[in-house]
Amino acid sequence: MNALEFIDLVTNMRAAQKKYFKQRGQSNMRASIEIERQVDQALEEGITIPEGKPKQLDMFAMANTTQGE
């Protein structure tokens, strides 16, 4: 699973959990548990982070390099 797919899965998990806590029902609980299981499985298998993508820059390091200019 790649990082973007994992982010989508975790987003869906949190939405299912929130729905369950808002409307505690058996079907909401089952849906939440199933998505949590998928997240656990993805973590066990590992998450692929694409290479070649720019990494997020540290804003403090960037600010320090422009002060002397």
pLDDT above 70 for 43: yes
Q: What is the tens place of the pLDDT at every residue in 8-30?
A: 999 999 999 999 999 999 999 99
The whole-number pLDDT of residue 44 equals: 95
* Torsions phi, psi for 54 (to 5 deg): -65, 140
The whole-number pLDDT of residue 49 equals: 79
The pair of structure tokens assigned to 53 is 């993508």
pTM for the predicted model, two decimal places: 0.69
The pair of structure tokens assigned to 66 is 């422009």
